[in-house]
Every structure is written in structure tokens, then in C-alpha cells.
A and B are shown apart, each in its own frame.
Chain A
């Protein structure tokens, strides 16, 4: 597992121009984590995602949005009103030295900006242009208004997430969009995959290309059995509390530990797991329940009833010990159980420390360091993604980038005026 196999600088020779909103933030940050130089071109008022909270301040501040911080690590910020005529020569100069342009936002905005980029691509045929829009660049929904919630609804994730219906089978709670902007995540991950495919294609052909990512379709890809179940059997799956949506309502599965923590504790039909449960029940002193002649008979005569009985026993086992104790004992027996943690509980978990799952980012303005989730994989020694710089303050790199593009100090000052 040699160090040089690490991917953290695998895109070190790439320059990415990013223009847009929260639909593009994450995709560009993923490329930045693999070493690409990402230059974010922002209007004088700042990119729209600077307005999304929570904030590190009492009132909103465009340099203190935690949302912006999270999705803009390692990037450079340049103030440039890209829709103004006087920005066009600057964009042309930047485009000639760039590999990828990522345009995100509402259809009308992106479509308007594409006119210029189509022209610039003629002078740089290696240029990869990627748009990320709510519904894609064509089709009857292309100009509809969307937010994360609306995309999670139309894309199908909401319909499969939520709570059990009441005793009469009527849903008395709404479908749920899991929090943290997953439509942006899905659109961003697929945009990064598509751009990486284009990078590969350019390696073998020398050609750039145009990529049109639809967040709507990205969300649609991610509902698992819901779609094959409908296509092949005509059945529509039903949402259920903290377990898989299915054509019918399955047994409740949420259990609570002795210290009041919800547990994911599931029992598959495999015999191995049933044996493990019996052992666990033994450990907490209630194993005899499964050793009675009555249970043996139940298992012979009514497998469904036996499964329900075993499921109830599972709940009792979980309730008998604190969550971490149950977790360790179940895992030792090969049961894939886990406490339902709050995300922040992982900050102090030794496993993630050893893996360097969190990147320590210095915020000199706050006089503190914050730990950001910073990778999904390692090489056995270090993470494949590397994040070292906090999100840029608005216009922090205007001078550096624009001077490199050949602008004079006076021209740069003029472009950033009013920031």
C-alpha cells in the first residue's frame, strides 16, 4: 500500500472554473479534494450559497455560512460579474487556461451563460463544460422552480421515507425528505462522476465535451427496490419507520437500549444470525425463552409466529444493556447492529481518528480549528481526498488569479469594485 498510490493529487494538473450556486458547490469540492485547482467566480454580492445557514454569527454574514464552508473547502474565490460585457475578455483568458467549466443554477441563468461558453469552447477544444441544473437543459420541466425539498419530492426519495401508517393503514404523518440537502449531494456526486468520465475520454481522444447533469434524474436513480418493484410487479412500496419501504408493512424494528438510545438491530432469516441472537439472549440472562419446548413447537408449526416471537425477544435483549455494550456484544457475534448515532458522536471515535476521516481546517478569523468530514476512502495510510484550506472569503483570490490571467492592478480593482 505505497504512498504514491494515493489519489489526493491525481487531478493536480487540472484547473476548474466554477460559476453558480449550491447545485455545483459539492461537485467542484470533490474535484478540489483530488488536487484540482478550483476557482469560484462569484458576483459582488457573493455566490448564492453564502446566504444559506447555519451561520457562525448571530446574523447572516456571507463569509460565515457553515453551508458555504462545508461545500467550498480548498477553493479560490474571485469576484467577477460573469454576465457583464466587460467580464467577457477575462472569461476568455481564464477559459484558455482551464480544463473544466462547471455551471450550475436555474435553467434560464445557465442557458444564458452557455451561449458564451459554446463560443469559448471553439478556441479550446479540450475544454470540458458541465452544467448542473434542477431538471436538465431540455424537457418540459426544464424551467420549473426547485429547492432541495421539491427535488426530493419529485425524484421519489420522499415517498419512500417517513413513518408507519396508523393501525388502520392510513398515513397520519407526511413523507420525509432526509435532512442535509441530499438532492445536491446526488447531483454533485453524479456530476463529479460524469466529469471524471470526460477527463478519461480526453486522455484517450484529446477532446473536451459538454455534460448536462439533471438533479431530478440523479435523485431518481437512488430509490433502490422502489422502481424495479413497480416496473416488474406493478406494486408501489410503502414507507415505514426506520426500515426499508416494501409492498406491505413489515414488522416494526426500532428498538431502544437501556440508556435510551435507538438501535438498528435487525435479524435476517439466516440461521447464523438466529444462533447469534440466542447467544446474546443467553448473555443477558433471557436465553431460556428460546429453549422452551413451546418455542420449539412454534418454530415447527408457524414460522411467521416464531419470527415475531424472536423479534420481540430481540427488543428485550436491546433494552437490557446500554447501547455501546449491545453494539460491542452483537458485533462480536457477527450481528450487523449499530446504535443510531448523532453525526457528531463520530468526532471522538478512535476508528475515524485512525483513518483521518476528519480533516482539521484552520479558521484564522475565528482563532480556531474545525474538523470537517473529509474523505470516503483511504489507501491504508492516508485519505484519498485531501482538504487543507477553509472555504475562501469572498474575493480572497481575485488578485492572484486575475493577475495570472494578465490583468493589471487597476483592471482588477475595477472588476471587484463594490464588493
Chain B
């Protein structure tokens, strides 16, 4: 441990991760390890073409945000400053709890320094383009010669092994390829709606943390190393499993079904428009009892008593018309008031919450202290998204061992190269001068 590290009861206390990841999918995995107390050392390089794209992608912290302030100084509409690499909001949210150092892997001395660090690490993670680490002679087979117990995780779009090993892919590419994009949206002839973000930059990160922790638990007891060739596309397949099985039985192509529930007699089942601009409520009726309660809440309008909607099977059969009729009711309702009234009658219903609703209003997230305020050395203290479970004895701690949000680029060079690698300040200065760190 380093002086000043928070001494919580971390499940991964004493574990060191060499983190060469960038963008989202790799950093998501190592974020979770830091949350459980691992010492994650994020390695970056300061040249524009090498630095993590997310560091200089919007949104940014507002220009007025300073180290001794943060959100208390106010948010700012618009892009904020992009004058340096340390004001990216999304980067700050993705990389809390990690140490940050710079290291030039194109320099032979940089590669030697990495080898030194790998000798005393539990795991190394990367999501470079396939083959990059081999070009540097830093692939798994090389690194395990230095540390036979090392765990090496490589995350790529389709997976390193196989026939597409040189294919390039971002999260949305993998979503399209795996079938997840197709599955989202209204039935044809509507095109797929897909995902409004890179889902496959997130889920493979959770899986990455899961597999790394499985490997670490085994390494702690048996000393076994491990190579993990993580595939974003395979993760996409894991998440569309039922449709793939159904296709094998029926031989029919998979179809889209919007927000409906084709596999149970649940109806109405969808998002319905409420009062206001683009306000919606999700209603999910599972039984005749719930439908009767819905009718009562609507004060029994004549259309709802029509025989065409009298049973679950009939509602399913006339679902288009049912949705139109139900909207004539919901469109006059304030969305949260309607959610409260329906829930009071035992009907599953929830507002389609926007980010503003979740952050400013959601009383459940507030009560569970979901957002965690963490300081950043340049932009001050901001709320960071939390971990979705409470653990009684080794609690999740998004601030990790650093107790901070994301590191500034190279923020911990002196600390890491001095206290972990064991270099003198003269040696560190010389390496900086040579363009190695």
C-alpha cells in the first residue's frame, strides 16, 4: 500500500493492476476493480494521437470549475473548455479511484519500465487494436516469462482468436454485428432503433471485472496466471440468447416487437405519452386484476369496458387500438402523479426518466446515496455514478484507494515511479527529460 491510501476493507486490497486500457470498455472493467480496493495504475501517453480520446471529448467541466470547487460553483450549458486533457466530464466519471501515470511505450526504456512494473503486478489489462502489444513485444507470452502468475486481459471488438482478428470495431460496430442493434425497436418496416449509446462498451467491462476477479481469487490461492481474450461481440451474443435459441427451434427470422411483451399475455405493455414535452410513462399490465385496477383508476371510461379488451388474450389481439385508447387517458396526466396512483393500485408503472429526472428528482437514488461526490485535482468535486450494490463487510468504494475521481494526465508519476517502481527523483527527472515518462 502507498501512504495516504484509504484503508477501507477492500475485497481487492493489495492487488495491483497495470491498466493500459482506454476509451470506455477497458476502463469500465478496471474502474470496478478500483471500487473494490485494487491499486489500479492507469498508464497513458501525452501525445495527442496517443492520449485517450475520452479525455478531450465533450462534455467538459465548465471553465469556472476549479480544484477547490466543482459542481458547487455551478454547471454551465455548452461545451466548456477543451484547452487541456484534464477537464473531460465523461473521463472523470469512467476513471475514478485510479492512479494516473504517463509512459512512452514507443521508447525502449518505456517498455523496460513496463516490464519492471509487470513483475510486481497481479494483472495487466489493455484494449489496444489487436496486435499492438505484440508489436511492442509485450504480449502475454512475453510478459508471463517475467511473471508466470500474471493475469493478462485483452479486450477487442470481435475477440483476438478466430478469423476476424484484425477487424476494427467500436462498441456500436459490435452491437450491429452481434444482433443487439437489430433487436431494439419497433416492428418492421420501422428500421432498428438500436442503442442510444455503446452498450457493448459497458457490459463487457462488467464481465471483464468478473473474470479478472475470478482469476485474482485463484491467483491468491493457487498462484495460477491467466490469459483473457474478451470479445465485445460474444458479450452481445450472450445478451440476445433467447432469440438465438428460438430461431433454432422455429427456423424463423428474429423480429422486433417494440416495447411489447410477445411471450406472455401482458397487455397493455408500453410507453404512453403524458402531459408535457416528450414525457412518457411505462405501464406493464400483467393480469386481469391489474387491468381492472387500471380501469378503476381511469374512472371506467366506456372504451375500457368494451368486450374487445375484456380478457388478456383479447387485449393482446387488439393491442394497437388498446394503446391508442390508453393514450387518450395518459396524455392528460402528470407523469409522476400517474406513476404514484398506478403503483398505489399495484400496477407496475414507471416514468421514462431522463438524466435530469434521475439526478435531480429520483428519491430512491437519493435515499440510497447512489451518486458519490469525489474530488478531481483540477476541476474540483463532482458527483460520480456509484456501484449498484451495498456490501456489508467489504463495501464498494468508487473513490478506490486514491479517494479521488479520475487522475490528471500523469498526476501520479512521482508517487508511482518513486514509491512503487523505486526510482530516485534524479532518475525520474532524467526519464522525463528523455521523453520516457
Show the binding face of A for B, using Cβ within 8 Å. 1, 4-7, 10-11, 30, 34, 51-54, 56, 66-67, 69-71, 135-136, 138-142, 144-147, 149-156, 158-163, 170-171, 173-180, 182, 185-187, 189-194, 196-201, 203-205, 207-218, 220-237, 239-245, 254, 262-264, 266, 331, 334-347, 350-352, 354-355, 357-358, 370-381, 384
A156 and B353 contacting across the interface, CB-CB below 8 Å: yes
Interchain residue pairs A-B with the least CB separation, the first 6: A343-B179, A217-B388, A53-B263, A160-B196, A178-B184, A153-B282
Instruction: With both chains docked as a complex, state the minimum distance between the C-beta of A30 and any C-beta of chain B, in angstroms.
Output: 7
30 contacts between A and B (CB under 8 A): A1-B227, A7-B218, A67-B263, A136-B368, A149-B269, A156-B354, A160-B196, A161-B184, A178-B194, A179-B256, A186-B203, A204-B220, A212-B389, A213-B388, A217-B388, A224-B90, A228-B93, A229-B89, A232-B76, A237-B355, A242-B191, A244-B172, A264-B172, A336-B173, A343-B179, A346-B178, A347-B247, A358-B237, A380-B161, A384-B211
B271 and A174 contacting across the interface, CB-CB below 8 Å: yes
Contact check: which of B12, B273, B359 meets A230 at CB < 8 Å? Answer: B359
Q: How far is the CA of A210 from the CA of B390 in the complex (A)?
A: 8
Having A346-B179, A355-B231, one finds 16 other A-B pairs with CB under 8 Å, namely A69-B245, A138-B367, A139-B368, A149-B261, A176-B193, A178-B185, A194-B391, A204-B14, A226-B355, A232-B60, A233-B62, A233-B79, A242-B194, A338-B174, A352-B237, A355-B159
Q: How far is the CA of A170 from the CA of B14 in the complex (A)?
A: 53
Query: A244 and B214 in contact (CB under 8 A), knowing A66-B249, A174-B273, A230-B355?
Result: no
A145 and B368 contacting across the interface, CB-CB below 8 Å: no
Chain A residue numbers with a CB within 8 Å of B176 are 263-264, 338-341
Within 8 A of A (CB), among B353-396: 353-356, 358-359, 362-365, 367-368, 370, 382-383, 385-394, 396
The listed residue with most B CB atoms (<10 A of its CB), out of A230, A350, A372, is A230
B245-272 toward A: CB 8 Å interface, digit per residue (1/0)? Answer: 1111100011011110111101001111
Interface residues on B, range: 35 or more
| Residue ID in chain A nearest B269 by CB atoms | A149
A351 and B170 contacting across the interface, CB-CB below 8 Å: no
A236 and B229 contacting across the interface, CB-CB below 8 Å: no
A380 and B257 contacting across the interface, CB-CB below 8 Å: no
Q: How far is the CA of A214 from the CA of B394 in the complex (A)?
A: 17
A185 and B239 contacting across the interface, CB-CB below 8 Å: yes
Q: How far is the CA of A189 from the CA of B387 in the complex (A)?
A: 12
| Residue ID in chain B nearest A344 by CB atoms | B247
| Residue ID in chain A nearest B382 by CB atoms | A231
Query: A351 and B162 in contact (CB under 8 A), knowing A211-B390, A243-B194, A344-B244?
Result: yes
B210-229 toward A: CB 8 Å interface, digit per residue (1/0)? Answer: 11011111101100111111
A185 and B59 contacting across the interface, CB-CB below 8 Å: no
Q: How far is the CA of A358 from the CA of B266 in the complex (A)?
A: 31
Chain A residue numbers with a CB within 8 Å of B240 are 180, 343, 373
Q: Is B32 in contact with chain A by the CB < 8 A criterion?
A: yes
B169 and A338 contacting across the interface, CB-CB below 8 Å: yes
Chain B residue numbers with a CB within 8 Å of A56 are 249
Q: Is B192 in contact with chain A by the CB < 8 A criterion?
A: yes
A178 and B364 contacting across the interface, CB-CB below 8 Å: no
Q: How far is the CA of A27 from the CA of B228 in the complex (A)?
A: 20
Q: How far is the CA of A378 from the CA of B383 in the complex (A)?
A: 36
**Partner-contacting stretch, out of B100-108, B301-309, B312-320, B342-350:** B342-350
Contact check: which of A54, A150, A234 meets B282 at CB < 8 Å? Answer: A150
B59 and A161 contacting across the interface, CB-CB below 8 Å: no
Chain B residue numbers with a CB within 8 Å of A370 are 245, 248-249
B177 and A338 contacting across the interface, CB-CB below 8 Å: yes
A340 and B385 contacting across the interface, CB-CB below 8 Å: no
B350 and A153 contacting across the interface, CB-CB below 8 Å: yes
Q: How far is the CA of A165 from the CA of B35 in the complex (A)?
A: 39
A375 and B355 contacting across the interface, CB-CB below 8 Å: no
Query: A193 and B350 in contact (CB under 8 A), knowing A135-B364, A159-B355?
Result: no
Instruction: With both chains docked as a complex, state the minimum distance between the C-beta of B171 and any C-beta of chain A, in angstroms.
Output: 9
Q: Is B190 in contact with chain A by the CB < 8 A criterion?
A: yes
Contact check: which of A179, A182, A232 meets B59 at CB < 8 Å? Answer: A232
B59 and A346 contacting across the interface, CB-CB below 8 Å: no
Chain B residue numbers with a CB within 8 Å of A54 are 242, 246, 262-263
Instruction: With both chains docked as a complex, state the minimum distance between the C-beta of B105 and any C-beta of chain A, in angstroms.
Output: 20
B244 and A7 contacting across the interface, CB-CB below 8 Å: no
Q: How far is the CA of A6 from the CA of B207 in the complex (A)?
A: 15
A343 and B178 contacting across the interface, CB-CB below 8 Å: yes
B80 and A232 contacting across the interface, CB-CB below 8 Å: yes
Contact check: which of A208, A215, A331, A355 meets B161 at CB < 8 Å? Answer: A355
Query: A335 and B168 in contact (CB under 8 A), knowing A140-B367, A232-B60?
Result: yes
A211 and B162 contacting across the interface, CB-CB below 8 Å: no
Instruction: With both chains docked as a complex, state the minimum distance between the C-beta of A398 and any C-beta of chain B, in angstroms.
Output: 26
Q: Is B209 in contact with chain A by the CB < 8 A criterion?
A: yes
A377 and B286 contacting across the interface, CB-CB below 8 Å: no
Q: How far is the CA of A263 from the CA of B175 in the complex (A)?
A: 11
Q: How far is the CA of A370 from the CA of B249 in the complex (A)?
A: 8
B207 and A189 contacting across the interface, CB-CB below 8 Å: yes
Query: A334 and B168 in contact (CB under 8 A), knowing A200-B217, A236-B354, A380-B227?
Result: yes
Chain A residue numbers with a CB within 8 Å of B334 are none
Q: How far is the CA of A194 from the CA of B160 in the complex (A)?
A: 28
Query: A355 and B234 in contact (CB under 8 A), knowing A154-B353, A224-B201, A340-B192?
Result: yes
Chain B residue numbers with a CB within 8 Å of A241 are 191, 193-194
Chain A residue numbers with a CB within 8 Å of B262 are 53-54
Q: Is B13 in contact with chain A by the CB < 8 A criterion?
A: yes
B243 and A343 contacting across the interface, CB-CB below 8 Å: yes
Q: Is B341 in contact with chain A by the CB < 8 A criterion?
A: no
B163 and A351 contacting across the interface, CB-CB below 8 Å: yes
Instruction: With both chains docked as a complex, state the minimum distance between the C-beta of B169 and any C-beta of chain A, in angstroms.
Output: 5
Chain A residue numbers with a CB within 8 Å of B180 are 178, 180, 343
Chain B residue numbers with a CB within 8 Å of A193 are 32, 206, 209-210, 213
B77 and A231 contacting across the interface, CB-CB below 8 Å: no
Query: A174 and B259 in contact (CB under 8 A), knowing A150-B350, A198-B11, A375-B238?
Result: yes
B254 and A344 contacting across the interface, CB-CB below 8 Å: yes
A236 and B356 contacting across the interface, CB-CB below 8 Å: yes
Q: How far is the CA of A201 from the CA of B367 in the complex (A)?
A: 27
| Residue ID in chain A nearest B229 by CB atoms | A378
Chain A residue numbers with a CB within 8 Å of B197 are 160, 223-226, 244-245
Q: Is B281 in contact with chain A by the CB < 8 A criterion?
A: yes
| Residue ID in chain A nearest B368 by CB atoms | A139
Q: How far is the CA of A342 from the CA of B253 in the complex (A)?
A: 8
A373 and B237 contacting across the interface, CB-CB below 8 Å: yes
| Residue ID in chain B nearest A246 by CB atoms | B196
Within 8 A of A (CB), among B52-96: 58-62, 71, 75-80, 89-90, 92-93
Chain B residue numbers with a CB within 8 Å of A355 are 159, 161-162, 231, 234
B59 and A153 contacting across the interface, CB-CB below 8 Å: no
Instruction: With both chains docked as a complex, state the minimum distance between the C-beta of B303 and any C-beta of chain A, in angstroms.
Output: 20
Q: How far is the CA of A214 from the CA of B364 in the complex (A)?
A: 10
Chain A residue numbers with a CB within 8 Å of B434 are none
Q: How far is the CA of A136 from the CA of B227 in the complex (A)?
A: 35
Contact check: which of B12, B195, B238, B387 meets A200 at CB < 8 Å? Answer: B12
Chain A residue numbers with a CB within 8 Å of B7 are none
Q: Is B127 in contact with chain A by the CB < 8 A criterion?
A: no
The listed residue with most A CB atoms (<10 A of its CB), out of B247, B259, B382, is B259
A52 and B264 contacting across the interface, CB-CB below 8 Å: yes
Within 8 A of A (CB), among B119-162: 140-141, 157-162
| Residue ID in chain B nearest A212 by CB atoms | B390
